[in-house]
Amino acid sequence: MLVKVLPELKKNDHKTLPAVGKFWDLSAENLVLMAFKQSEEDSKVWIWRCCESEGKEAVLEFKSDLGLEIVEPVDFLERPANLSKKLPEGGEFKREPWKIASFTIVPKTDT
């Protein structure tokens, strides 16, 4: 897979759709997308897997123009990951060097 980073769009004062949108933005150049697939258990949930590729810590800040959000980290069998500490509210996740991380992703719901 080849990923091309495009320059940021200027402010759109005419209220039209931008020529380019972000399916998602990983916010860290050393994170590589490994898999994006539908969950085995629920067709409305997607599994997203990434890996740190340069041997240094990365901060994943997931952003999407499509209204997608990370729900929780999961293991390779798509079970909720057993974390020792609670996930941050802002959606930022620290990734250790060379580690693979998997998350469930769903469309945002307005509450």
Q: What is the 3-state secondary structure (H, E, C) of 37-104?
A: EECCCCCCCEEEEEEECCCCCEEEECECCCCEEEEEEECCCCCECCCCCCCCCCCEEEECCCCEEEEE
* pTM for this model (two decimals): 0.68
Domain of residue 75, CATH code: 2.60.40
pLDDT of residue 55: 94
Instruction: State pLDDT tens for residues 24-67.
Output: 777 788 988 899 999 999 988 999 899 999 999 988 887 777 77
- Within-domain flag for 21: no
Domain hosting 70: range is: 31-107
- Within-domain flag for 57: yes
pLDDT of residue 69: 83
Instruction: State pLDDT tens for residues 62-109.
Output: 777 777 888 888 999 999 886 544 455 556 778 889 999 899 988 887
- Number of domains comprising the chain: 1
Alpha-carbon Rg for the chain in angstroms: 15
- Within-domain flag for 23: no
- Within-domain flag for 65: yes
- Within-domain flag for 6: no
